[in-house]
Structure 1
Amino acid sequence: MSVFCGIDWASDHHDAVVVDDTGSLLAKARIDDTAEGLTQLLQILAEHGDSAGDPTPVAIETSRGLLVSCLRATGRPVYAINPMAASRYRDRHAVSRKKSDHLDAMVLANILRTDAAAHRRLPADSELAQAIAVLARAQQDAVWDRTQASNKLTSHLREYFPGFLGAVAVRREGVCHPIARVLLAAAPTPEQAARLTRTQLRSLLKKAGRKNTIDAEAERLQTALRHPQMRQLPLVEQAMGHQTLALLRQLDAACVSADDLAQAAVQSFETHPDAEIITSFPGLGPLSGARVFAEIGDDRSRFADAKGLKAYAGSAPITRASGKSVAVLARRVKNQRLAAVGYVWAFAALTHSDGARAHYDRRREAGDRHTAAQRNLFNRMIGCLHHCLNQRLHYSEAAAFPTAPGTQILDAA
Structure 2
Amino acid sequence: MRRENLIYCGIDWAEKTHDVALVDDTGQLLAKRHITDDASGYKILVDLLAEYGDTEENPIPVAIETSRGLLVAVLRTGKRQVFAINPMAAARYRDRHSVSRKKSDPGDALVLANILRTDMHAHRPLPNDSDLAQAVAVLARAQQDATWNRQQIANQLRSLLREYYPSALAAADGWKNGLCRPEVREVLRSAPPPTRAARLTRTQLQAALKRAGRQRGVEAEAERLRDVFRADWAHQPLPVENALGKQMLALLIQLEAACTAADDLAEAVEEAFPQHPDAETILSFPGLGVQLGARVLAEIGDDRNRFADARGLKAYAGSSPITRASGKKSSITRRWVKNDRLNHVGYLWAFSAITASPGAKAHYRHRRDEHSDWHAAAQRNLFNRMIGQLYHCLQHRKLFDENTAFPVHVAVAA
Range of TM-score over shorter length: over 0.9
Could you tell me which runs of 5 or more consecutive residues in structure 1 were left unpaired when the two chains were aligned. 406-413
**1:356 counterpart letter in structure 2:** A
Q: Secondary structure at the match of 2:30?
A: strand
Alpha-carbon displacement from aligned partner over 1:253-274 (angstroms, at most 9, x marks no partner): 0000000001101210011111
1:298-317 alignment, distance < 5 Å: 298-317=302-321
Task: From 387, 402, 406, give the equivalent of 1:401.
Answer: 406
In structure 1, what is the equivalent of residue 180 of structure 2? 176
In structure 1, what is the equivalent of residue 140 of structure 2? 136
Structure 2 contact 320–334 (Cα < 8 Å) conserved: yes
In structure 1, what is the equivalent of residue 256 of structure 2? 252
Q: Secondary structure at the match of 2:95?
A: helix
Residues 1:105 and 2:109 aligned together: yes
Q: Matched residues in 1 for 2:87 and 2:384: separation?
A: 28
1:296-375 alignment, distance < 5 Å: 296-365=300-369, 366-375=371-380
In structure 1, what is the equivalent of residue 56 of structure 2? 52
Query: Are the structure 2 counterparts of residues 404 and 236 from structure 1 closer, same or farther at C-alpha, using a change threshold of 3 Å?
Result: closer
Q: Matched residues in 2 for 1:48 and 1:95: separation?
A: 31
Q: Matched residues in 2 for 1:207 and 1:131: separation?
A: 35
Q: After TM superposition, give the deviation of residue 348 of structure 1 in Å.
A: 0.3
In structure 2, what is the equivalent of residue 391 of structure 1? 396
Q: Matched residues in 2 for 1:98 and 1:297: separation?
A: 38
TM-score (norm 2): 0.96
In structure 2, what is the equivalent of residue 90 of structure 1? 94
**1:103 counterpart letter in structure 2:** G
**1:399 counterpart letter in structure 2:** T
Q: Matched residues in 2 for 1:116 and 1:170: separation?
A: 57
Structure 2 contact 362–409 (Cα < 8 Å) conserved: no
Residues 1:152 and 2:156 aligned together: yes
Task: From 189, 192, 197, give the equivalent of 1:193.
Answer: 197
Q: Secondary structure at the match of 1:29?
A: strand
Alpha-carbon displacement from aligned partner over 1:6-64 (angstroms, at most 9, x marks no partner): 00010111100000000100000011000001100011111111101100000001111
Q: Matched residues in 1 for 2:77 and 2:269: separation?
A: 22
TM-score (norm 1): 0.97
**1:168 counterpart letter in structure 2:** A
Task: From 373, 379, 395, give the equivalent of 2:384.
Answer: 379
Q: Secondary structure at the match of 1:98?
A: coil
Q: Secondary structure at the match of 1:351?
A: helix
Q: Secondary structure at the match of 2:408?
A: coil
Q: After TM superposition, give the deviation of residue 404 of structure 1 in Å.
A: 8.6
Alpha-carbon displacement from aligned partner over 1:63-84 (angstroms, at most 9, x marks no partner): 1111011111243110000111
Q: Secondary structure at the match of 1:350?
A: helix
Task: From 259, 281, 292, give the equivalent of 2:285.
Answer: 281
Q: Which 4+ stretches in 1 moved above 4 angstroms? A: none
Q: Matched residues in 2 for 1:88 and 1:231: separation?
A: 57
Task: From 198, 217, 222, give the equivalent of 2:226.
Answer: 222
Q: Secondary structure at the match of 1:26?
A: strand
Q: Secondary structure at the match of 2:76?
A: helix
In structure 1, what is the equivalent of residue 67 of structure 2? 63
**2:254 counterpart letter in structure 1:** Q
**2:255 counterpart letter in structure 1:** L
In structure 2, what is the equivalent of residue 209 of structure 1? 213
Alpha-carbon displacement from aligned partner over 1:324-355 (angstroms, at most 9, x marks no partner): 11100110101110001110000000000011
Structure 2 contact 10–63 (Cα < 8 Å) conserved: yes
Q: Secondary structure at the match of 1:300?
A: coil
Identity score, percent: 61
Residues 1:17 and 2:50 aligned together: no
Q: Secondary structure at the match of 2:407?
A: coil
Q: After TM superposition, give the deviation of residue 362 of structure 1 in Å.
A: 1.1
Backbone CA RMSD of aligned residues: 1.1
1:67-78 alignment, distance < 5 Å: 67-78=71-82
In structure 2, what is the equivalent of residue 410 of structure 1? none
Q: Matched residues in 2 for 1:73 and 1:383: separation?
A: 31
Q: Matched residues in 2 for 1:121 and 1:219: separation?
A: 61
Structure 2 contact 57–79 (Cα < 8 Å) conserved: no
Q: Matched residues in 2 for 1:79 and 1:154: separation?
A: 43
Structure 2 contact 359–409 (Cα < 8 Å) conserved: no
Structure 2 contact 23–113 (Cα < 8 Å) conserved: yes
Residues 1:115 and 2:109 aligned together: no
**1:397 counterpart letter in structure 2:** E
Alpha-carbon displacement from aligned partner over 1:292-345 (angstroms, at most 9, x marks no partner): 100011111101100010011010111100121110011010111000111000
Q: Matched residues in 1 for 2:122 and 2:405: separation?
A: 32
Equivalenced residue count is 405
Alpha-carbon displacement from aligned partner over 1:376-413 (angstroms, at most 9, x marks no partner): 100001000000001000001111112299xxxxxxxx
